[in-house]
Amino acid sequence: MRKTSLTSSRRDLFRLAGASALALIASRSLAATREGDLRGAIDAVEYKTTPGAADRKSVGLQKMIDQAAAENVPVFLPPGTYKVSNLVLPENTRITGVPGASRIIYTGDGHLFSADNIKRVELSNIAIDGQNRWLGDYAGALLQFTGVDEVMIDNCEIGGSRKHALQLERCGGRIERSRISGAGQSGIYAVESDGLSITGNEVFDCGNGGILVHRWKKAADSSVVSGNRVYRIKANDGGTGQNGNGINIFRADNVMVANNHISDCAFTAIRANSASDVQITGNQCRRSGETAIYVEFEFVGAVVSNNIVDGAANGISIANFDQGGRLASVTGNVVRNLTLKGPYEHEVGFGIGIAAEADTLVTGNIIEGAPRWGMQLGWGPYLRNLVVTGNIIRKAPVGCAVSVAEDAGTAVITDNVFQETSGGAVLGFEWDKKVSGELAATDSSRYPQLTIERNRIS
């Protein structure tokens, strides 16, 4: 395409002004009439990378990306379909298009986008389709970024990846307002992140996970996962919890999971495994196949508050004191409509509202419709320093099952309301065996480690 003086003038303006890519594109015609020396964003048409063009080796688009990055200007993809593969994104890559109209189709042969050890990459307003095509053994995802200080993905659609849709390793930045679906593994897999924000996205119909925030070794991660909608997450590779989770935090400390809407996950809506100082607040968790909210294994410090659990095998579990899991606050949650049916055989069974083991406050929660136990306090000797107060438990065969096995520690159970707990409000258990009568209305001095007072039974 012949370069005109008008095209040249547009580029100069944008280089000098330093305005954002979207603002520049929107103002091209107006700016061209006002300035005598203007230049604009690099347009795909200039490099003969037109929609539908035969460019299997992606030479045209790669050249355009390299040129735009060198000039520190954005690439603009006009509406249409671009069939490409194996693109490497250099420093300062910015690719934008027309939302819902600029489509990039992966043609196979390895990967679609990758970037390694650079400062910044930005993708916005484009739709990306992996077509479930083969990905190379070296590629963990359709889009793979490693060691990028700021990955900025905004208002994109990413679908049809045979593996993860988006994989980030040792990255920071923001993934926001995007629609991610149909991944064979997970929608977003972030490992060893540095303050990553994953906000306002829709992640659905993925084979093994929704949003995964992991680390190779336990350490501070400081990611924020908020305002996302995650649904229809399967567990195609099976297991007892490593797959099938809407949001999964693993070995990543100081992570906030807030105000997400998660539904129809094969296992857990929100699962924090060996994740210390995790905050799980204000989430909607609906129709989980296993435990809706799970905080387990080697964690110290967790806040689980103001969540709604409607439909699950178990509601909320704070578990694995035997592995060092302890120190939590479980407050202000609503748990209802649980089931005895889970995805595998469990030693206790399913149908438990809230379970906790060590150094945990459980207060101000409402549990209704737990078909086994409203609460499980401890398991065998794994009980220490539980305070359970001010909760409402309705429609459960046993309101509260507290461990009185040998070496079980202290629990305070006070000022709770139990209604329609036909088998008992507070009962002592040794593992899964009931060994006491009603403790809430009679003398519990047989168990001096327990304080059971001022509970109301109706």
Backbone angles phi, psi at 70, to 5 degrees: -65, -35
pLDDT tens per residue across span 306-326: 999 999 999 999 999 999 999
Indicate if 306 and 331 belong to the same structural domain.
yes
Backbone angles phi, psi at 410, to 5 degrees: -85, 140
pLDDT tens per residue across span 387-418: 999 999 999 999 999 999 999 999 999 999 99
Indicate if 25 and 46 belong to the same structural domain.
no
For residue 44, how many C-alpha atoms fall within 13 Å in the half-sphere facing its CB? 26
Strand-pairing partners, residue 360, are: 328, 386
Indicate if 361 and 399 belong to the same structural domain.
yes
How many Å apart are CA 288 and CA 265, to the nearest integer? Answer: 5
Indicate if 90 and 224 belong to the same structural domain.
yes
Torsion sign across C-alpha atoms 318, 321, 323, 329? positive
Indicate if 147 and 12 belong to the same structural domain.
no
How many Å apart are CA 410 and CA 451, to the nearest integer? Answer: 8
How many Å apart are CA 308 and CA 301, to the nearest integer? Answer: 21
Q: Shortest CA distance to 449 belongs to which of 385, 368, 359? A: 385
| 174 vs 348 pLDDT, higher one | 174
Statement: residue 22 has pLDDT above 50? no
CB 371 within 8 A of CB 398: no
pLDDT at 3: 40
Indicate if 155 and 30 belong to the same structural domain.
no
pLDDT at 2: 37
Strand-pairing partners, residue 145, are: 115, 168
pLDDT at 46: 58
Give the total number of structural domains in the chain: 2
Statement: residue 21 has pLDDT above 60? no
- Arithmetic mean of pLDDT, 273-285: 98
pLDDT tens per residue across span 353-376: 999 999 999 999 999 999 999 999
- Arithmetic mean of pLDDT, 227-252: 97
pLDDT at 344: 92
The 10 Å Cβ neighbour count of residue 48 is 14
Element spanning 202, H or E = strand 202-206
Element spanning 212, H or E = strand 209-220
Indicate if 63 and 6 belong to the same structural domain.
no
| 415 vs 442 pLDDT, higher one | 415
Instruction: Output the CA–CA distances (angstroms, integers) from residue 103 to 81, 89, 178, 436, in the order listed.
Output: 5, 17, 14, 66
Indicate if 219 and 197 belong to the same structural domain.
yes
Spatial CB neighbours of 198, under 8 Å, sequence gap ≥ 6:
174, 175, 176, 188, 190, 211, 213, 223, 224, 225, 226, 228
pLDDT at 59: 87
200 pLDDT band, cuts 50/70/90, is very high
Indicate if 32 and 124 belong to the same structural domain.
no
pLDDT at 347: 81
- Arithmetic mean of pLDDT, 270-287: 98
Instruction: Output the CA–CA distances (angstroms, integers) from residue 416 to 154, 333, 364, 365, 449, in the order listed.
Output: 47, 15, 9, 10, 18
Strand-pairing partners, residue 180, are: 158, 203
- By percentage, how much of the chain surpasses pLDDT 70? 88
CB 451 within 8 A of CB 411: yes
Indicate if 451 and 434 belong to the same structural domain.
yes
Q: What is the DSSP string of 81-131?
A: EEEE--EE--TTEEEEE-TTTEEEEE--SB-SEEEES-SEEEEES-EEE-T
CB 271 within 8 A of CB 285: no
Torsion sign across C-alpha atoms 242, 243, 245, 249? positive
pLDDT at 30: 30
User: What rounded mean pLDDT belongs to the chain?
Assistant: 90
Domain that holds residue 298: 40-457
pLDDT tens per residue across span 40-67: 577 665 554 556 554 544 788 999 999 9
CB 189 within 8 A of CB 163: no
Prediction pTM value: 0.89
- Arithmetic mean of pLDDT, 97-107: 96
CATH of the domain at 335: 2.160.20
Indicate if 346 and 398 belong to the same structural domain.
yes
Q: Shortest CA distance to 422 belongs to which of 387, 444, 394, 383? A: 394
- Arithmetic mean of pLDDT, 210-231: 98
Statement: residue 352 has pLDDT above 80? yes
Indicate if 114 and 173 belong to the same structural domain.
yes
pLDDT at 346: 84
pLDDT at 446: 87
| Least confident among 16-25, 69-78, 127-136, 368-377 | 16-25
Statement: residue 13 has pLDDT above 70? no
Statement: residue 268 has pLDDT above 70? yes
